[in-house]
Amino acid sequence: MTFDKFVLATGSALFQPPVPGLAECAFNVDQLSSAKALDAHLKSLAEKPESAARNTVVIVGAGLTGVEAATEMPQRLRAILGETVGVRVMVIEQAPFIGPDLGPGPRPAIEEALAACGVEIITGTAVTSIGAHCITTSTGQVIETNTVVWTAGVRANPLADQIAGEHDRFGRVHADPYLRANRVKDVFVTGDVAHAATDDAGNHTLMCCQHALSLGRVAGHNAAAELVGLPLHPYSQPKYVTCIDLGPWGALYTEGWDRQIRLKREDAKALKADINTKWIYPPAPDRDAAFAVSNPDCIIVP
């Protein structure tokens, strides 16, 4: 197939290094189907005889996804196995501290939430093998578990490799201010396959829905505009926020690349619910609504 303009918007995939047993024995929440598989597995634990392995869930990776999964897991396990069962939830992070990409600002609150939820934290440690009934860590520790959830980051879709030019460590294609691939004519990149500057302060896009929504609007607009000879719209997203769900403890909402906490506990939890159920969803099937939200100047972050 030939094209006049091409937009690569194929997203990302879970990073799965060559850890023995990872593909065969671990679960993840990368896709809806994999999240459903994890949910079915957790529910099936009630049919197994009680054991340390049955009652233990190990979450590998303490980034945003890992932290959210860890704080949610104890109450979910108790709902399945019974409120009196001694469940154990552990999160293992290779970096020397949890939330290595989240910065030091929100870390004390995240640690407080994990402790309140009864989650054990192991840092500075990697998982070296995964089996059906246990894992082994880089320190030689063997932990009995039937449930390992892998949340150790994502990489750009492999199709990005086929676009010539510079790529970052996640496999994303370096893009110009209009989201054109730097070295290939008539190709635009967006979402998790695009490495683009968000501002003039040296910050770049992260692989998250917050940036992907705006990236998609701009790349789509510019591909069409260039095709018909209209001015292009530069991508810019100087405001950066995070909202981290922390299970029964609540949530955290931060603003700025230094992640200053603006809301926490119940107030942040309500905002997180709005983000998950309203903000990131497409508009109603209405022409005017669709065009309004696809405008490259559309802003959804308060």
Query: What superfamily does domain 18-151 belong to in CATH?
Result: FAD/NAD(P)-binding domain (3.50.50.60)
Supply the pLDDT for residue 89: 98
User: Which residues are marked as active site?
Assistant: 68
% of the chain residues with pLDDT over 90: 89
| Average pLDDT over every residue of 119-135 | 97
Q: Using 50, 70 and 90 to split pLDDT, how confident is the model at 292?
A: confident
Supply the pLDDT for residue 299: 72
Distance CA 271, CA 38 (A): 26
* Spatial contact of 147 and 56, defined as CB atoms under 8 Å apart: yes
Q: Using 50, 70 and 90 to split pLDDT, how confident is the model at 279?
A: confident
Q: pLDDT for 144-199, tens place per residue? A: 999 999 999 899 999 999 999 999 999 999 999 999 999 999 999 999 999 999 99
| Average pLDDT over every residue of 61-75 | 96
Burial 14-45 (b: 16+ CB within 10 A, else e): bebeebebbeebbbbbbeeeeeeebeeebeeb
| Average pLDDT over every residue of 126-132 | 97
Supply the pLDDT for residue 280: 82
18-151: same fold as 6-11+155-238? yes
Supply the pLDDT for residue 298: 81
| Average pLDDT over every residue of 261-288 | 90
Q: pLDDT for 80-91, tens place per residue? A: 999 999 999 999
Examine the pLDDT at 255 and tell me if it is beyond 90.
yes
Examine the pLDDT at 301 and tell me if it is beyond 80.
no
Residue ranges of domains in the chain = 6-11+155-238, 18-151
Q: Which of 99, 93, 38, 95 is nearest to 60 (CA)?
A: 93
Q: Using 50, 70 and 90 to split pLDDT, how confident is the model at 289?
A: confident
Q: Using 50, 70 and 90 to split pLDDT, how confident is the model at 294?
A: confident
Query: What superfamily does domain 6-11+155-238 belong to in CATH?
Result: FAD/NAD(P)-binding domain (3.50.50.60)
